[in-house]
Amino acid sequence: MSVVLKDFIEAEGLEPGDRLPPERDLALKLGLPRTALRRMLSSLEKEGRLIRHVGRGTFIAGSGVSSSALRPPSSNEGNTLRTYPAEVFEARLIIEPKIAALAALRATRQEVEEMQKSIARGNASESLGEFEKWDAVFHRIIVQAARNGLLASLYEGIHAVRAGNLWGKMKEQSLTSERMTAYIVSHQAILDAIKDRDSREAERNMYDHIIDARTNILGPSI
């Protein structure tokens, strides 16, 4: 499990002397129970990767790093959106089920056919990269079918975060052939509801799909 924390440190570009976010914030951002996070912090401290100071926080260790060199996180608010997997899933659960509900009411026959093709091609994928390509295509067609420009813009913001280094590593570690098969099945359930113009079922199936993905990537919810 420590690999999740290591990936976070790498993706954030933290260097020796930099401080990690407070424990509570870090647990929420990574979608981890605080007990599990504490075990990871303790393990990395024993490996000499972290320095923990009571009352000051946890810092990245490194050669030549002394107490005087420890520094708080730099503030870059207003420059770059900083968000984390647990926050991404919260946003997806708010937005994507409603998008699927709208798609059930507004999708054209051509869009339904394109969704079906993306499912078939995802099912036939022979690599992780190919599977993720068709997974993204399926979700984007649903967004297109919802016919709401603002929701589409919000979705693209979420998708851009999911393309980051930390997210990519966590997806790669979580995806197995069995899980990819399960995602295909849930995609088909979403599409079947859209075909039936059943907005409530489309919304529910999309919600369940995202919950499954969150559990596979982050583990059971806190």
Cα gap 8→42, rounded to integer Å: 16
Task: Count structural domains, the chain.
Answer: 2
Residue-by-residue pLDDT tens, the chain, 222 positions: 566 787 778 777 788 888 888 888 888 777 778 888 888 888 888 888 888 877 778 888 875 444 444 455 544 443 344 567 788 899 999 999 999 999 999 999 999 999 999 999 999 999 888 998 999 999 999 999 999 999 999 998 888 776 555 566 667 777 889 999 999 999 999 999 999 999 999 999 999 999 999 998 887 765
The predicted pLDDT at position 182 comes to 96
Q: How many CB atoms are located within 10 Å of the residue 204 CB?
A: 17
| pTM beyond 0.85, yes or no | no
Kindly state whether residue 115 falls inside one of the protein's structural domains.
Answer: yes
Q: Is 48 inside a domain boundary?
A: yes
- Do residues 98 and 139 share a domain? yes
The SS3 of residue 147 is: coil
In a domain, 68, yes or no: no
CATH number at residue 181: 1.20.120.530
Residue given tokens 């959106």 in the structure block:
81
**Alpha-carbon distances of 85 from 104, 154, 209, rounded to whole Å:** 28, 16, 16
Calpha distance 108→44 (Å, rounded): 52
Examine the domain organization and report whether 20 and 103 are in the same domain: no
Residue 29, in any domain of the structure: yes
Residues 114 and 9 in one domain: no
Same domain, 31 and 122: no
Q: What is the CATH number of the domain that holds 20?
A: 1.10.10.10
- Angle among Cα 18, 22, 25 to the nearest 5 degrees reads 125
Residue-number span of the structural domain to which 203 is assigned = 85-218
Q: Is residue 213 part of a domain?
A: yes
Q: Are residues 35 and 112 both part of a single domain? A: no
Same domain for 47 and 109, yes or no, is: no
Question: How far is residue 172 from each of residues 52, 90, 131, 155, 216, measured CA to CA in Å?
Answer: 30, 20, 11, 21, 11
Q: ∠ at Cα 136 (171, 101), nearest 5°? A: 110
Q: Where are the alpha helices (DSSP H) in 107-198?
A: 109-123, 128-146, 149-162, 165-174, 177-195
| Shared-domain flag, residues 54 and 96 | no
Does one domain contain both 44 and 130? no
123 with 27, same domain: the answer is no
